[in-house]
Amino acid sequence: MSLQLDRVPRKKVAIVGSGCAGIAALWALNRTHHDAYLFEAANRLGGHTNTVEWRQSKFKAMVDTGFAVFNTATYPNFVTFLERMNVPTLKVNEPTRPIEMILDTSPDNSIFQWAWASLRAMLGQGGNLFSLRAWRLIFDIVRFNQFSVDLLREDDVYGSSAMSEKTIGDYLYREGYSDAFRDDYLIPLMASVWCTSPDEGVLDLPALAFVRFMRNHHLLSTMAEPGWRTLEGGAKSYIDAVMRGFPPNHLFLKTPVKHLTNDETGRVRLHLENGKTEVFDHVILATHGDQAYQIIEPSATEEEKAIMSAFKSVERTCVLHSDISYMPKRRDAWSSMNSISLSSPWVHRDIAGKSLTYNMNILQHIPRRAFGDVLVTMNPIRPPRPETVQGRYSYAHPVYDSATVRAQKVLPRIQNTRGISYAGAWTSYGSHEDGFTSGLYVAKAHLGARLPFELVDSASRQGEHKLGLVDLFLRAIILLIQVFVIDFFGRVLKGSRVKSLVHANGNANGKKSSWR
């Protein structure tokens, strides 16, 4: 329950970290009588919100290399904030998730590419209309969207303890989903939504958290898609709006915090890397989870150590470039987001050779005629051509596993203790909305900030997923296809392979005996 502001004495508050959580907390506290200070280790504000210049001859455009798009359905608090601050936004005119795909292979079969486009475009190119792989991929997408929510019902029946240890990789194997669905749809999809590399960790995510995240973000709807938008002038525009009028002597860039301690009165001492010490009544650690742990570790309680040590992050590289070899070979197959992987799609492959490229011409309305191809690639499978590169950036992203989910559930035990609050996307599912909401929440709940709108719990707002008549009918059709088509042909093909192997071994043995 939030405190009433008039009951909260004026406090000197430090916010450590200027990502979405730190900026949100600062905006909320700016509306109070508290005295807020902002510390940032980097030489700029924003964290993943990093808008940079793209230069092409005499033209200049602003491009987002980290956080770039949001939607009106699953970012309720962020959207309301933008409206309150009169920050202009633009509609993204193309789908930004892989409902259907265009499949394309290079002549030497060493590269597999797809773009996120329409079903008609997918089936109308490259012989995909007659491709069993393409049809199986579509079937598995529809099947997953319909049946994965059953995991949430199982959790209601058996409890979180029974479900929390199961990974999404385990679930896909148990239910018999195809390699194409796993490697070419689900992994790139979650990499784009969570802004992580497609090559690590996705299959180890807890299945329950995975499906709940997808449901809450409208990613289990086969046909409908929420309206996606981008910020006019780049995502940095909302940070500029918050910082307008903020006292310059309360902002400390290039000032890393080494650790913190409590003095004899309970106040919090921030020990800075430059050797200075600052004292505050309250500190909001709006850094990554593992960074927050490093800051509190020297003075942490055993409970704080047990909880915070479970949060980890990993660095990812993003490259701003114009190398179109990262896009599908056919320009009419280009979409807002494009995945590329090394090796052939027709044989088993290691998913380590995957990268995701954002077409910023589409996402941010950047005219190609004036600026050329403007691309941002996450986790490049090979370096883009040097002459096409205009910038390289590194961003840390939360790592999610069963230990992380358990730690998130008990994090409230240490919130607002010892004068310390924790905020960041890592406290929830990792989206910009999650981070922004966490910053608003700690300012409201721990320091009495009054927000000009009702704070929405984006993690649980959809409630129970109920099946309608259309869902039941579609499920029946899917089960019939699964049993009488997919499973039947699977058994036939498996039997044919066994017979071929037996025949081949027999011939080999016969030849060997004859030779003897």
Tally Cβ neighbours within 10 Å of residue 402. 18
Q: Is residue 189 part of a domain?
A: yes
Note the pLDDT of residue 28: 98
Alpha-carbon distance values, 510 to 497, 498, 501 (Å): 20, 18, 14
pLDDT band at 353 (very low <50, low <70, confident <90, very high): low
Strands 111-117 and 337-342: antiparallel
Note the pLDDT of residue 473: 83
If asked whether residues 186 and 209 sit together in one domain, one would say yes
Q: Is residue 142 part of a domain?
A: yes
95-99, 209-213, 278-282: range with lowest mean pLDDT? 95-99
Mean pLDDT over all residues of the chain? 82
Q: Is residue 88 part of a domain?
A: no
- pLDDT tens-digit series, residues 405-437: 899 999 999 999 999 999 999 999 888 999 999
Burial of 77 (0-12, 13-18, 19+ CB in 10 A): buried
Q: Is residue 32 part of a domain?
A: yes
Q: Is residue 55 part of a domain?
A: no
If asked whether residues 488 and 343 sit together in one domain, one would say no
- pLDDT tens-digit series, residues 160-170: 555 666 888 99
3-17, 390-404, 405-419: range with lowest mean pLDDT? 3-17
Note the pLDDT of residue 390: 97
If asked whether residues 264 and 293 sit together in one domain, one would say yes
Q: Is residue 63 part of a domain?
A: no
Q: Is residue 195 part of a domain?
A: yes
If asked whether residues 304 and 418 sit together in one domain, one would say yes
Number of domains making up the chain: 3
If asked whether residues 199 and 254 sit together in one domain, one would say no
Is a pLDDT exceeding 50 seen at residue 335?
yes
Is a pLDDT exceeding 50 seen at residue 105?
no
Is a pLDDT exceeding 60 seen at residue 477?
yes
Is a pLDDT exceeding 60 seen at residue 98?
no
Alpha-carbon distance values, 79 to 86, 216, 455, 460 (Å): 10, 16, 12, 17
- pLDDT tens-digit series, residues 491-502: 666 555 555 554
Is a pLDDT exceeding 60 seen at residue 506?
no
If asked whether residues 234 and 220 sit together in one domain, one would say no
Rounded mean pLDDT, 359-385: 92
pLDDT band at 44 (very low <50, low <70, confident <90, very high): very high
Whether the predicted model's global pTM rises above the 0.75 cut: yes
If asked whether residues 43 and 124 sit together in one domain, one would say no
If asked whether residues 354 and 216 sit together in one domain, one would say yes
pLDDT band at 107 (very low <50, low <70, confident <90, very high): very low
If asked whether residues 210 and 331 sit together in one domain, one would say yes
If asked whether residues 330 and 436 sit together in one domain, one would say no
Residues pairing with 223 in the sheet = none
pLDDT band at 119 (very low <50, low <70, confident <90, very high): low
Is a pLDDT exceeding 50 seen at residue 344?
no
- pLDDT tens-digit series, residues 220-237: 876 566 678 999 999 999
Is a pLDDT exceeding 50 seen at residue 58?
yes
Q: Is residue 209 part of a domain?
A: yes
pLDDT band at 471 (very low <50, low <70, confident <90, very high): confident
CATH number at residue 260: 3.50.50.60
Sheet holding 268-272, edge to edge: 257-262, 268-272, 277-280
If asked whether residues 203 and 234 sit together in one domain, one would say no
Residue 483 structural domain? 471-510
pLDDT band at 99 (very low <50, low <70, confident <90, very high): very low
If asked whether residues 365 and 486 sit together in one domain, one would say no
Could you give the 3-state DSSP secondary structure of residue 114? strand
Is a pLDDT exceeding 60 seen at residue 464?
no
